[in-house]
Every structure is written in structure tokens, then in C-alpha cells.
């Protein structure tokens, strides 16, 4: 998964996609985010469950342990390593959902510059990506060490020509299960390993190369310029 995505709808659109009846603790605001070209270190709306409540906070995309000083903060975590490796051990129990509208990948098509593609759900509903992180809670306010990473898996079943990794995306039912603190960690691991949404749920379309400049924003960036890759 390349490091660019969109989160332009508002928090209540994402809550509706999750279909969670729990009361919302909203620290993310009520207005549309209008973030069409989010890069690593961007503050994005992140969901986690706090007791019986669903909580939304603005959290930095990217996290690293406090004891590592000499490398950039990763934005993704491979599911094959995240659950058992030392690097993400501290945040593996802190499950979250990052709801997005789409993400972007770049494909080498023989041109001087790679062609960017927008990947979205065919039904256009928000994409619910499994994440882990360090984020504010009732006991701990915002911290400079806060951040999150998106869980990724091997790319199989049709997206391999886009990228060899893809975010683990969950159905609303699985997303609620992932968020639930009562879900055992072993079951959560198996869920993201085996129950991600199928490739058939998505479409990918060419977009303008302007998406490559992190300073560019606006809805024109997500307008398709060609046919779907499949």
C-alpha cells in the first residue's frame, strides 16, 4: 500500500458506515474533512471503542515506539508481523478503525512517470481499514507520541498488478468485532488474516498525476481520467 489516501466525508458518514449504535464521543468535529490527498503524518479521524462508547479522535498517520529514534514512523503494519513482533507489541492490543473514501497506488506502465490509480469500493461506501495505534482516551489526553498504522496483508486475487500489499478492509460486522475490546486478541488476529473484504468489492481508476504533489488538494484529484483497470 502506498502512502496516500482520501478522507473527505464527515465523521457521521463514517459512523453510519460502521452501523454502531453506541453513543459517539466526537473529538473529530462535525464538518466534512475534505482531505483528498492525505500523506503520512496527516492528522486523520480514527475510531476506537472506549467502554460502551465509540470515540473519534484526530490522530497522526504513522507511529513508532518511543525507544526508536533513528527512523521514520511507519504508516503500515504487516499483519504477519504486527501481532507478534517487538516493534508493534505496545499498540497491538489498541485496535482502531480508520474509515477512508479511497486510497491511491502508482503503477509502472512504461511511461517516464508512474500512473496513479484511485482505489475505492464499487458501491462507493466508506472503506473500513483495520488499524492499531496510540491515541487519546479518558485516562490519557493527546500526546506527542500518538499515532496509528494501517494493517496490511499480502495482495492476492486481482490487485497484484497494483501493489503487493493492501490495507486489511473489514465489513461493518467485522469492523465492530475488531473494535470491541472484548474480542480476544487471537480471534482479532485471525479475523484480519482471513476475513478481509474480497478484491471484487473494489474498483481502481486512473487519476491525474497531480495527486503526486502532497500540496495539492481538492475534489478534482479524485476524478477518474480513464477506464477502470479491470
* pLDDT for res 160: 43
- Dihedral class, residue 123 (left if φ above 0, else alpha if ψ from -120 to 50, else beta): alpha
C-alpha cell at 213: 504533489
- Domain annotation covers residue 215: yes
What are the catalytic residues?
2, 105
Separation of CA 177 from chain center: 17
pLDDT at 229: 52
DSSP assignments along 64-127, one per residue? --TT--SSPPPSEEEHHHHTTSSTTTTTTTSEEEEEESEEEEEE--SSSSPEEEEEEETT-PPE
| pLDDT more than 70, % of the chain | 93
Mean pLDDT, rounded, for 60-73: 87
Please report whether residue 41 resides in a domain: yes
Strand (E) or helix (H) holding 24: strand 24-26
CATH number at residue 180: 3.90.1680.10
Say how far apart CA 130 and CA 181 lie, in whole Å: 14
* Position 93 in a domain: yes
In a domain, 229, yes or no: no
Q: 226 pLDDT band (50/70/90 cuts)?
A: low
Q: What is the pLDDT of residue 113?
A: 87
Cβ atoms within 10 A of the Cβ of 138, count? 10
Query: Is 105 contained in some domain?
Result: yes
On average, the pLDDT of the chain sits at 90
- Measured distance CA(79)–CA(72) in Å, rounded: 19
Q: Is residue 18 part of a domain?
A: yes
Query: Does residue 228 fall inside a structural domain?
Result: no
Helices (H), the chain: 11-18, 79-82, 172-179, 185-194
* Structural domains of the chain, count: 1
Instruction: Give the model confidence (pLDDT) of 29-52 as tens digits.
Output: 999 999 999 999 999 999 999 988
Q: Quote the CA–CA distance of 102 and 127 in Å, as a whole number.
A: 7
Residue 36 confidence (pLDDT): 97
Residue 183 lies in a domain: yes
In the predicted model, what is the mean pLDDT of residues 15-28?
Answer: 92
Q: How far is CA 212 from CA 127, 134, 150, 163, in A?
A: 22, 28, 20, 16
Domain that holds residue 34: 5-222
Q: Full-prediction pTM beyond 0.85?
A: yes
Q: What is the pLDDT of residues 129-178, one digit of tens each?
A: 999 999 999 888 898 899 999 999 876 544 545 556 789 999 999 999 99
Tens digit of each residue's pLDDT (9 = 90 or more) over 174-205? 999 999 999 999 999 999 988 889 989 999 99
Q: How many Å apart are CA 43 and CA 39, to the nearest integer?
A: 9
Of the candidates 219, 228, 214, the residue with the CA atom closest to the CA atom of residue 4: 214
Amino acid at each position: 500500500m502506498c502512502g496516500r489516501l482520501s478522507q473527505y466525508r464527515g465523521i457521521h458518514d463514517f459512523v453510519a458506515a460502521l452501523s454502531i449504535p453506541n453513543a459517539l464521543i466526537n473529538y473529530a468535529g462535525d464538518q466534512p474533512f475534505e482531505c483528498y490527498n492525505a500523506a503520512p503524518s496527516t492528522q486523520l479521524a480514527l475510531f476506537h471503542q472506549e467502554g460502551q462508547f465509540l470515540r473519534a479522535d484526530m490522530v497522526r498517520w504513522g507511529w513508532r515506539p518511543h525507544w526508536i529514534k533513528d527512523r521514520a514512523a511507519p504508516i503500515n503494519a504487516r499483519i504477519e508481523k504486527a501481532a507478534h513482533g517487538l516493534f508493534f507489541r505496545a499498540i497491538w492490543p489498541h485496535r482502531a478503525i480508520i474509515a477512508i473514501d479511497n486510497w491511491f497506488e502508482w503503477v509502472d506502465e512504461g511511461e517516464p512517470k508512474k500512473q496513479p490509480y484511485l482505489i475505492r469500493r464499487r458501491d462507493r461506501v466508506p472503506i473500513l481499514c483495520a488499524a492499531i495505534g496510540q491515541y487519546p482516551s479518558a485516562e490519557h489526553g493527546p500526546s506527542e507520541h500518538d499515532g496509528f498504522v494501517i494493517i496490511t496483508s499480502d495482495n492476492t486475487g486481482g490487485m497484484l498488478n497494483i501493489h503487493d500489499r493492501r490495507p486489511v478492509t473489514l465489513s461493518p460486522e467485522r469492523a465492530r468485532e475488531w473494535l470491541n475490546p472484548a474480542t480476544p486478541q487471537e480471534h482479532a488476529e485471525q479475523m484480519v488474516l482471513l476475513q478481509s473484504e474480497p478484491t471484487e468489492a473494489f474498483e481502481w481508476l486512473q487519476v491525474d498525476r497531480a495527486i503526486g504533489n502532497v500540496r495539492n488538494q481538492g475534489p478534482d484529484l479524485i476524478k477518474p481520467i480513464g477506464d477502470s483497470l479491470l
